[in-house]
Amino acid sequence: MGKILDVTTSANFLVSVRFDNNHSVTLDMKSKLVTVRFSELADEEVFKAATTDGKSILWPGGISMAISEIMAIVTKYK
């Protein structure tokens, strides 16, 4: 994958990521909310504040997920 162009969140802790190659993926983050690393995302306001720097999904408090992690999650389910 190249660069992340856009990140949007929706109900039930789903995050959609649009890449510069016209592909997009939607990640179900519910299972991640029980981990220490992502537990703060259980607060819907924090979760909804997702942004990107083009290389990662960024949330308040220094929480992030790199493109390589996104792709690892996506390919795990294929």
Query: Could you give the 3-state DSSP secondary structure of residue 78?
Result: coil
Name the nearest CA neighbour of 11 among 48, 41, 38. 48
Q: How many other CB atoms are there within 10 angstroms of residue 9's CB atom?
A: 18
pLDDT digits (tens, 9 = 90+) for 10-63: 999 999 999 999 999 999 999 999 999 999 999 999 999 999 999 999 999 999
The fraction of the chain above a pLDDT of 70, given in percent, is 96
Domain with 48, as residue range(s), is: 4-76
pTM above 0.85, yes or no: yes
Q: What is the pLDDT of residue 77?
A: 62
Question: In the chain, how many domains are there?
Answer: 1
Q: Is the pLDDT of residue 7 over 60?
A: yes
Instruction: Assign residue 42 the CATH number of its domain.
Output: 3.30.2020.10
Secondary structure (DSSP) of 17-67: EEETTS-EEEEE-GGGGGSTTTGGGGSHHHHHT-EE-SSEEEEGGGEEEEH
Rounded Cα distance, 76 and 44, in Å: 26
